[in-house]
Amino acid sequence: MLEPVRVLSQQGLVRVELARWDERLVVVKRLVGVSAEVARRLEREADVVRKLDHPNIVPLLAAFDGNLIYAYVPGSDLGSLLDGGALPVARAVKVAADVLRALAHAHLHGVVHCDVKPANVLLKGERALLTDFGFAKDLAMTAITGDQELLGTPNYMAPEQFRGVRTDHRSDLYGVGAMLYHALSGEPPYGSQVIRWLVGDDRVPLEPLPPTAAALEPIVRKALARAAEDRYPEAEAMLDALHAAVPHAAALA
* Residues involved in catalysis: 115
* Torsion angle of C-alpha atoms 184, 188, 194, 198, degrees rounded to 10: 70
Query: What residue type is 42 in one-letter code?
Result: L
The 10 Å Cβ neighbour count of residue 218 is 11
The 10 Å Cβ neighbour count of residue 119 is 16
Pairing of strands 67-71, 24-31: antiparallel
Instruction: Break the chain down into helix, strand, coil percent, rounded to 5.
Output: 40, 20, 40
Quick one: which of 136, 128, 119, 131 has its CA closest to 58? 131
The 10 Å Cβ neighbour count of residue 250 is 15
